[in-house]
A = this chain, B = another copy of it.
Amino acid sequence: MGGRINRRNMIAGGAGLSVAGLAAPALADAQPAIKWRMTSSFPKSLDTIFGASEVFAKTVSDMTDGRFQIQIFAPGEIVPGLQALDAVTNGTVECCHTSSYYYWGKDPTFAFGTAVPFGLNCRMMNAWMYEGGGIDLLNDFYKRYKVFGLPAGNTGAQMGGWYRKEIKSPQDYRGLKIRIGGFGGAVIARLGAVPSQLPGGEIYGALEKGAIDAVEWVGPYDDEKLGFQNVAKYYYYPGWWEGQAMLHFFINLETWNALPKTYQAIIRAASSHANTVMTARYDMQNAAALRRLVKGGAELRTFSVETIDACFKAATELYDEISAKNPDFKRVYEAMKEIRRENFLWFQIAEASSDTYMMMQSRRGGL
């Protein structure tokens, strides 16, 4: 062991570095060999989303010299993509990688863990989770489903999706059959749309066959891989229902509680790292993908302020109605609103003015 320690610091530096004997009994408790199965809600082809679970599993393995192994399974290998949470609740698998908002049909409170329309952006979601009590607050709710949840990747602000026909006013949502993730569907239904929540691998076929008229998934890099540009022409922004979207690792609560504390700390740090890496991966890829899409014929469109205003109004009414009868929802909504109010105030000062200047230089060709 001595050969692996920096001799120079030990001898010359006298810098407090010390090598003590190993406490074998403590180690036996701290690092048992463990294998978990993780079922994913996302197609393996998406190195961004699916990749976050791989980063997580590798980080855990690297930190434990391979003693803690997490094997990841694609949707359908163990359970279908949208049954990932149930498989963890039931103990079919130890953990899953999914979006909590897929389960808003069970309880709309699930929506906050991923994204709600007109919610936070990526920075703010991290602020809430890591320093605003968000992880604990959400887990107070998740424990009803016998799972413990941690952040597991964030897409950043999403695009508004692919449409066969233009959306020029709120009226154009009427009768629109759209695949939309999470709670955005509940809001858009108030404007007359017909939302569905197909998993990633099934969307293209539905759009091609005309079973749906439009689809939102994530953004340029993922959307290009799934091929939506081939079956719908208009590419809208922003996805007002997903100013960010955070994924979750859910772990069976009993399994989590049984983990040695060192392993809990390792899982938490690996999850935090995977959460960062997923956003970084998108940010490295989206610009080039968007250029390719536009070159290939995609037509960029932005929703009108009139349209977004109508959606904002519908969303706020819906939140208030649910809050009146669902105390869990109300508690999490109020917490989110405080982060939102404070941060969209502050971000207008240094962040937005700095970014705006740089975007002006971008348009000038100065970058």
Contact = CB atoms under 8 A, between A and B. Distances in A.
Name the prevailing secondary structure of the A interface residues. Answer: helix
Nearest to A244: B354
Nearest to A241: B354
A31 to B, nearest CB: 7
Contacts of A363: 348
Question: Assembly of this chain: how many copies?
Answer: 2
A290 interface: yes
A312 interface: yes
B265 A349 contact: no
Question: Which of the listed residues A21, A26, A308, A361 has the most CB atoms from chain B within 10 Å of its own CB?
Answer: A361
B20 A33 contact: yes
A350 B156 contact: yes
Interface in A94-147: 94, 118, 121-124, 126-127, 129-132
A280 interface: yes
Interface residues of A, number: 121
A173 interface: no
6 contacts: A6-B252, A8-B254, A15-B94, A17-B94, A27-B27, A287-B346
Interface of A: 1, 4-6, 8-9, 12-13, 15-22, 24, 26-37, 59, 62-65, 71, 91-94, 118, 121-124, 126-127, 129-132, 156-159, 219-220, 237-240, 243, 252, 254-255, 258-262, 265-266, 268-270, 272-273, 275-277, 279-281, 283-284, 286-288, 290, 300, 302, 305, 308, 312, 316, 337, 339-359, 361-363, 366-367
